Structure 1
């Protein structure tokens, strides 16, 4: 691999907007006295290195170039591929006379290496082994124009892998939204600073394997450009508080799980089991009388009581923190329970996690919470309910949505979904882990319980939300790796929650 390339697959910690990267790469190049064309050459080299690494048997490639610098990167790839003996077909969108600056220089170098430039055809030749997508970069605004849209559709219909340069064409790298028509890549390589829109929302289905190459300037770039958006890292598990040798069950907090209306016993069971697996010393459950027996039989380690106002108040006075809402219900019983819990939480400033039906009652402005010790965990549908908008609006810009949620409700917000976001009003974290197998009933209950265990175990509210989400997602990824995504049950993830709460897998990988 060329020395200017960086390790692929391991992604950097900080995330940036496209404008930050454009400004920062210019500053970094000037600081290091590098020509921008040198960075283009390094980007092209990194793409070619990734092509060879991921598709070692490929000998025929199609490179689709637009008018901007992404197209210039494509021309560099083409020249390197010709020298390496590849059969190269290059399609240029628009006239080559429209190219300027470094992109024009790259085009001329490609021609000098023996390359030929063609206009796009109606059909992609069956002999093509890999398509290189260099059509549209990070500067696109608005919907993809019809001609590009038509070509993107043809690329997506091809029966060969697609490698996108910097971003899949048609993806908004600031939000992760699709701009009408978007290339569905098998792999994407981002440069210098990782764009935040590549790691959340719809982008998760379109980037494929996400790779990164710093092009030898990433350290200077990070020093020059600051970001308050981070991508979670496996090494963050080192922040977990280890157990002292003289610990006893009272050393790790008293968790109270409240919910499970009639017929919803599984919700509090899963939240309570997750809290125990994540390290809570003691767990008590307050639930509807119809759900109590089922939870007792499933989890004898928890102290389960049927709800009445006196027993609930006694447990609220006893606990170190509470998770409310899992299976609570939206009926009169659920409303009364919600009212009593949040009244006490507000008065005592008790750490709490609000999930599921508690968010329904919160959206009705029944005792809204603004304490910093409160964590809310909406999925996109619940977020839309809390902000009185549509799910589509939430997913169009998840970063904007979570900031609005935090501004309105305070505390810590965990916006679940592909690339879960965590926000405290100042900083945002995107969880790098997680998979579609988690899209099943009960996984959100596990998350609430996991976060609660950390919240009462000595971590701050923000760290509890971040590390709890990370543990939960890594556990699901481990289960998917072992048994596949389809058919994953929430209860299948419990063992992984225990393992990652002990940092076992990280320690074994680091040896």
Structure 2
């Protein structure tokens, strides 16, 4: 069965290559039978998505991904479609199961041709079966030219297993990659299809287990996990009927230098909207009136240089959210100094991270939430290096700074040094000011309500992204961070 319901367990490409062989043996299947099943899954989905398709172009490479393409071509031909098959490279040099698929195509009356200078006008759609998951270096020139041609066509392109040129382990583009309208991947969900640049290239992502997915998962340990609705259901049970505000935690949000009151206001309201029993703010005195006027439920305190005021609020709080609108002024640095040695749970974001980059330390009582630019400063890398391998970047951040790391971006990653989680919710409308401040407040509130740091990070990221997806039903462009609050309240009360 082919489905858009993605598994929660994710794998590296090599794990899938080895695990599918073990699963096939356990099920007494030849690997060629899995290739046929893969081709059947692709063709079944094509027939559903494009029922008017009468002419199809299949582009095959030299490996098993190309073999899958030959199976799709044969099935299309047998159903009466006009099928053209372009083979990149010499079809006589195919090996293994791809040879059997090629020979079955030829026996059915199919023909093999080399790629032409342009996609024929009468083709209704294109199937990409060029490179698959085995690619490790940059795409070769001949393949890059063909990919560029397919990306220029106005025909829908459907990718088999992974868009050619996209790294199945990292989600990075290896020089160039197919921009598919849809991708169907097999047996084990490859982790690179869920983060980085993958969303730009995969289109709608489908999964087909080929009848061996349960055997595969029983014999293959995942490399990462996908956050889904079940996490929220586990972490946010219904409240007791006798609950009171003291049962649900006290969050202290710290930040808001001059001119940046909005950031700390968004973080503190997100905390309150996510169920914290009490939320307080320490900020510049000039910000107090605007925050209290906008949200009187939040306790706001201006601060200049009195240490005892900080100590009182620190003793009061269960969780500290440090960084939204903090700035890097002398006021900011003096304020941060009072929180350096606390053992309270902490969420650190924004300028809190920029100050951390200047004075790195390792702590296990905090969650840090960098975007790729902040991650690059924390690691001493370039942004391009972070985005080229987000999995390595998030683990390096955790090993350097401790606790839990949330590496934001398309396919946000959450890592505690033992497990890595991926959130596939979210949309481009979130690329606007204040979204990170809202996320920090959400995570802080969840930690205050008794969730572990990892649970708070995973659940908070999912709530934040899913609220944005609900909000985007009215359009992505023009979405504001505060627009998420009504949807957030719905989501923190799961039914």
8 Å contact kept, 2:411–2:423: yes
1:25-424 alignment runs, 5 A limit: 25-239=20-234, 240-308=236-304, 309=306, 310-343=308-341, 345=342, 349-365=343-359, 368-371=361-364, 373-424=365-416
Distance (whole Å) between structure 2 residues aligned to residue 103 and residue 478 of structure 1:
44
For residue 113 of structure 1, report the CA deviation from its aligned partner.
1.5
Distance (whole Å) between structure 1 residues aligned to residue 54 and residue 482 of structure 2:
46
Distance (whole Å) between structure 1 residues aligned to residue 442 and residue 47 of structure 2:
41
Distance (whole Å) between structure 2 residues aligned to residue 291 and residue 7 of structure 1:
54
Once the two structures are superposed, what CA deviation does each residue of 1:80-116 show, in whole Å capped at 9, x if it has no partner? 1111121111100112111122111101111122211
For residue 228 of structure 1, report the CA deviation from its aligned partner.
4.1
The number of residues matched between the two structures is 492
Distance (whole Å) between structure 1 residues aligned to residue 323 and residue 233 of structure 2:
30
Match of 2:485 in 1: 494
8 Å contact kept, 2:2–2:41: no
8 Å contact kept, 1:185–1:208: yes
8 Å contact kept, 2:261–2:291: yes
What's the secondary structure of 2:210's corresponding residue? coil
For residue 497 of structure 1, report the CA deviation from its aligned partner.
1.2
Once the two structures are superposed, what CA deviation does each residue of 1:472-504 show, in whole Å capped at 9, x if it has no partner? 0000011012x111111001111111111112x
Distance (whole Å) between structure 1 residues aligned to residue 369 and residue 386 of structure 2:
14
CA RMSD of aligned residues (A): 1.0
For residue 52 of structure 1, report the CA deviation from its aligned partner.
1.2
8 Å contact kept, 2:273–2:489: yes
Distance (whole Å) between structure 1 residues aligned to residue 223 and residue 451 of structure 2:
20
Provide closer, same or farther for how the CA distance between residues 115 and 160 of structure 1 changes in structure 2, counting only shifts above 3 A.
same
For residue 242 of structure 1, report the CA deviation from its aligned partner.
2.2
Once the two structures are superposed, what CA deviation does each residue of 1:124-171 show, in whole Å capped at 9, x if it has no partner? 012111110000011112110100000000000000111100000001
What's the secondary structure of 2:35's corresponding residue? helix
User: What is the TM-score normalised by the length of structure 1?
Assistant: 0.95
What's the secondary structure of 2:300's corresponding residue? strand
8 Å contact kept, 2:60–2:87: yes
Which structure 1 residue ranges, 5 or more long, are not aligned?
1-5
For residue 48 of structure 1, report the CA deviation from its aligned partner.
0.5
8 Å contact kept, 1:261–1:290: no
8 Å contact kept, 1:200–1:430: yes
8 Å contact kept, 2:158–2:182: yes
What's the secondary structure of 1:117's corresponding residue? coil
State which of 446, 450, 454 in structure 1 corresponds to 2:442. Answer: 450
8 Å contact kept, 2:2–2:45: no
8 Å contact kept, 1:263–1:290: no
What's the secondary structure of 1:141's corresponding residue? coil
Distance (whole Å) between structure 1 residues aligned to residue 445 and residue 112 of structure 2:
60
> Quick check: 91-100 or 462-471, which moved more?
91-100
What's the secondary structure of 2:138's corresponding residue? coil
For residue 458 of structure 1, report the CA deviation from its aligned partner.
1.1
What's the secondary structure of 1:131's corresponding residue? strand
Match of 1:3 in 2: none
Distance (whole Å) between structure 1 residues aligned to residue 317 and residue 74 of structure 2:
66
Match of 2:15 in 1: 20
What's the secondary structure of 1:201's corresponding residue? coil
Which structure 2 residue ranges, 5 or more long, are not aligned?
none
8 Å contact kept, 1:8–1:212: yes
What's the secondary structure of 1:342's corresponding residue? coil
